[in-house]
Each structure stands twice: as C-alpha cells, then as structure tokens.
Amino acid sequence: MTKSRRPWRLFSWPRVGVVDVGSNAIRVMVAEITNNEIRELLSKRFALRLGKDVFNNGGTLSSRTQTNLIDVFSQIKNIFSDNKVNLYRAVATSALRSARNRKRILNRIRKNTGLDLELIEASEEERLIGYSLPEYARKGKTLLMDLGGGSLEVGAYDRAKLQGMSTFPLGAVRLLGLKSSAAKSSVHLCEHIALKCERDRFFREFVNTKHPHLTVIGSGGNIRALYRVSRKVFHKKVTSRPKLSCQEISLLIQKFEKMTPRQRHNKLKLPLDRADVILPAAYVFYEILNYLNVKEIDVPSGVSLRRGILLDLQKELF
C-alpha cells in the first residue's frame, strides 16, 4: 500500500482508497479506477466530531479524541488491507487545519498506523470538489457552496474552472459550539452569517456583479440531509436534478426550531450527529441564498471531496 502516485505502468485496475477527515465525521471510500470508469466498492462513515474539540477547546484536539482518531485510522488501515488497496490519499480539512497540535497528531497517526494524513488548504479542497461537478454545471457559471462542520467554502466556476473562492468560519459544528449570543438567538445567528459575508471582498464583489443563468450548487452532508428531509416533509418526487428552494429551507428551519435534536433524530430519521448541526447549517444556506438573491439551490449527488479526489487520481493514473 503506497501513497505515491503516478506509477510508470499499470497491469490491472488499481484499487484506490480515499479518506476525508472532516470536522463532523471521517469518511473512507474504496474504488477501482479505469481510464473511463470509477467503480465504488466500499463506503464507510465514522462519527468522530473533531470540530467539537478544536472549536471549543482553545484549538487543541484532546488526548481522548486523538486516541479515538488513531483507532479510526487503524480500522481504515484494515479496510485498505482487506480490500487490497495499493494507492490512497487521505486528507484533513478545517478542524485539523485549525488544531494547534496538528503536527503531533499527524506524526502519531503515521507512527501508529503507517498511514499518511495530508492537511489541505481550502483552495485545494474547492479545486478537488470542483472536479465532481455535474455535467450541466460545466457549461456555464456555477457557484459552489460546500458546507462542512468547520467551514463554508464558496467557489465561483466558469465552465468548471475555478475563478475565485472564499472560505468562511461558518461550519455547522463551529456555529453550534459558539458560546457567544450568535448561537443563542436565530436573529443574532443570521446577523453573524451576514456580517461574515459582507466583510469578504471576493464574495461582496461577486454579489454586486451580474451573473445571468448562474447555477448555485450545494455540497456536503448538511445540504444532502436537508434535501432528504425536504422529500419526506414536502412529499417531493425524485427528480433527475434535485433542488431545494429558499422557501423550503425556511419552512424546515421553522420545523427544526420546534424540535430537540433527539426529536429530529426520532421523527425525521436524522443521525444524532447530524440532528444537532442541521439547524445552523440550514440558516447558513438560507441566509447566503438570500444574500445572493437566488431562489433555489441544486443538490446533485456525487459532488464531494472524496469523488473529486478519485477523479483527480484517475486523471493522474491515465
């Protein structure tokens, strides 16, 4: 099993492993790659919320969470071994990027499991996710909103080429853990989100420029969970181009506010580690769509960092 890419010659379909260490969970995928196909073999999610430590513990990952993280990587190593993975890329985003003791954590993972975990910047994250944009988004201008647990990345694409981006400290776990009044009042939370947008030069200039036929796409577990709930609540039919309207997000916010996370888990079948962050996530999407004066957001399947990494590896291998 090697992290090295660009082999000189391939005699069989390579089995590739991808690990995405986010702020709310860790996801692993195993796939076979050819020059024109990616065949997913395995996908697994580990509910380990690194952001809870980093964003509420002075920027430090606790010893207990570090131990849990190493345990997850030991399981991932076994997954790679059992599935005969010979090439992998493991990346970490906002939470570990922000952790003060990140170097020690990476060294511990390498020492205990032999796996290398790579910290990637927001720009690299957005570039990779951009590879997974659907075909219709490759024909014009697209704004991609990728909301994770630690941050929100907003990237502007023209024919799938990244033109500019901004990253905001508006991740759902980060907002949930704020001890300021921004987390205690919906009005203050909306003001907090709007203020972050207004202070960002790129985003402000983008909003003030006309973009006819702009497509806005959402990615990340939060927007996908919002769409799944909207199908149940509004009895929506499955379509080839899934969408969420601002009005639907507003109605979902009203519904969520009347429920505890446990009730959202029981009644809406949301995982417990999604049921608490779904409300601040909904506010982020609602406020920014209104700021953009956009009425709906596309929620296509397959737009993700993991898919982007697989497509990037496919490009390098073939």
Q: Tell me the pairing of strands 296-298 and 243-245.
A: antiparallel
- Please name each of the domains of the chain with its CATH number: 15-122 (3.30.420.40), 133-298 (3.30.420.150)
**Over residues 248-257, mean pLDDT:** 96
Tell me the pLDDT tens digit for each residue of 99-158: 999 999 999 999 999 999 999 999 999 999 999 999 998 888 999 999 999 999 999 999
pLDDT tens track for 36-70: 899 999 999 999 999 989 988 788 999 999 999 99
Specify the DSSP element, H or E, that contains 107.
helix 102-113
Q: Are the C-beta atoms of 65 and 48 separated by less than 8 Å?
A: yes
At 278 the pLDDT is: 95
Q: In what order do the strands lie in the sheet with 15-21?
A: 38-46, 26-33, 15-21, 87-92, 118-119
Residue 120 DSSP code: -
How open is the CA angle 121-97-120, to the nearest 5 degrees?
A: 30
pLDDT at 190: 85
Sorted by sequence, the CB contacts under 8 Å of residue 229 that are 6+ apart come out as 252, 268, 270, 278
Check residues 138 and 222 and name the one with the higher pLDDT: 222
Q: Please, which pLDDT band fits residue 178 given cuts at 50, 70 and 90?
A: low
